[in-house]
Amino acid sequence: MLADPDKSSGHGNREPSWPAEGVRRVPFVVYSDAEVYEQEQHRIFKGPIWHFLGLEEQIPESGCFITLQIGDTPVIMVRDGQGEVRALVNRCSHKGTPLAIVPSGKVDQFMCIYHNWCFDLTGKMLSAAFERGVRGKGGMASTFRKEEHGLQVLRVHRIRGLVFGTLSESTPPFEEYVGQGHIDNINRVCGRPLRILGQYSQRLPSNWKLYIENVKDPYHASILHAFNGVMKQDRLTMEGGIIMGARGWHHISYSKMATDSGGEVYRTAQMRSAELAEYGFGLRDHSMTDIWDDHGDGVTMTIETVFPNFVLQQLRNCLAVRTIVPKGTHESELMWTAFGYEDDDEKRTQGRLKQANMMGPAGLIAMEDGMIGGLVQKGIAGNLDKAAVLEMGGHGIEPIPGSRVSEGSVRGFWTGYRELMGL
């Protein structure tokens, strides 16, 4: 756990601390310490946050369900008999056995394989095997009340086909939690009926926070991702900026596609992408980057994050939602769902799928995002008393008008993290 060696409680446990520079520094120990990880499960994932559960299209009919994780907590998202979307903790109230053990399916009720306790689609307990005993002997005690043993139910918020849930009663309304700018962008990207195009996941050899930091850091894109720079797909000299959500915890990074090579800015910085671009590299097949204006505003890239671990992506016409799921201190799983619109014709559907080759574990752009966290995890292993430096763009979480050359949105994440963790 984070600790100040000069402070100690009467019980022998040291009180947590943080570098004096605040969110300009991030102690390496938060990516590796088991006690930090356990506290995250209670204070963040079970705390007053909204967590992305899935798309409504994944559960189109009554009884359709998917399984997912909120931190370490297993959850079922299901559509009940009245068509409402429900979220239930995937844990039998008898012995704790998961009720749904497959990623998705369709059922009339949930029945535990261990002792056949049964629950309806709203989480209400229906019955238990041998509840009345056998031939008048045994059975549940007279004090047992089925109504007292239903499943734990989450609060649910639905917006434009996206479903969010929370395990905390103190979580503020979703609109208040994320801020109006985020609502506007969800309406913009998901404002037409959605159609799922594909799903996949990848295991990352790194702490979940290293990935979400990477997503919230817009200025690495034309440095780490050589494809972006060499093929002139994303340069910080292009028009764009950062929008901060409520309390600075969430962010939107956006830009407009241009043929700008970065020119003297990138050459002066002696960046490898600038040197390679001088050789005139480009795509022979331009169908990969042929784009159309889905939203009528000329914005070709938006990356929206909702604290702690949700991403809504518009990369040209490649649309997707992502969630990074903790799997321990040194591992995480990145879940992707690519989507289009119900009214897309075949040409546009194929265009979105082709552009999707830029993303994911082998993506022309995103491949490096899957490995960079693992490199960081290895690099910090022997020096957990040190801290990362976050001073690009200043010290605060305020956006710089018209610029993406900032770590303000990363500092915003750590602002929320520190508040919830009490650090």
User: DSSP labels for 216-239?
Assistant: H-GGGHHHH-HHHHHTTS--TTSS
Q: Say if residue 8's pLDDT is above 50.
A: no
Find, among 134, 131, 151, the residue nearest to 142 by Cα. Answer: 131
- Percent of the chain residues past pLDDT 70, beyond the cut: 87
Radius of gyration of the chain (CA): 24
- Least confident range of 81-90, 230-239, 310-319, 346-355: 230-239
Query: Looking at the predicted structure, is the pLDDT value of residue 112 above 70?
Result: yes
Least confident of 26-35, 274-283, 382-391: 274-283
Q: How confident is the model at residue 404 (pLDDT cuts 50, 70, 90)?
A: confident
In the DSSP assignment, the letter for residue 320 is E
CATH architecture of 193-421: Alpha-Beta Complex (3.90)
Q: Which two tokens stand for residue 419?
A: 């508040």
pLDDT at 194: 98
Q: Give the CATH fold of the 51-157 domain.
A: Rieske Iron-sulfur Protein (2.102.10)
For position 14, what pLDDT does the model report?
A: 40
Residues 416 and 308 sit within 8 Å (Cβ to Cβ): yes
**228 band by pLDDT with thresholds 50, 70 and 90:** low
**Structural tokens at position 170:** 């103190």
pLDDT at 346: 97
Give the side-chain half-sphere CA count within 13 A for 24: 8
The HSE-up count of residue 244 (CA atoms within 13 Å, CB side) is 21
pTM equals 0.89
Please report the pLDDT score of residue 282 as a whole number: 65
Average pLDDT, the chain: 89
Residue type, 37: Y
Domain boundaries, the chain: 51-157, 193-421
Q: Which residue has the higher pLDDT, 338 or 286?
A: 338
**Contacts made by residues 137-144, CB under 8 angstroms, sequence distance 24+:** none
Measured distance CA(131)–CA(141) in Å, rounded: 9
Minimum mean pLDDT range among 161-170, 284-293, 345-354, 411-420: 284-293
Band of pLDDT at residue 240, cut at 50, 70 and 90: confident
Q: What does the pLDDT read at residue 231? A: 60
Check: CB of residue 350 under 8 Å from CB of residue 318: no
For residues 372 and 399, what is the distance between their CA atoms, to the nearest angstrom? 25
Check: CB of residue 108 under 8 Å from CB of residue 126.
no
pLDDT at 11: 36
H or E element at residue 110 = strand 110-111
- Residues 375 and 227 sit within 8 Å (Cβ to Cβ): no
Residue 278 pLDDT class (50, 70, 90 cuts): low
pLDDT surpasses 90 at 230:
no
pLDDT of residue 212: 97
| Bond prior to 308 in cis (omega within 30° of 0) | yes
Closest CA to 322 of 31, 52, 48: 52
Residues of the chain above pLDDT 90, percent: 75
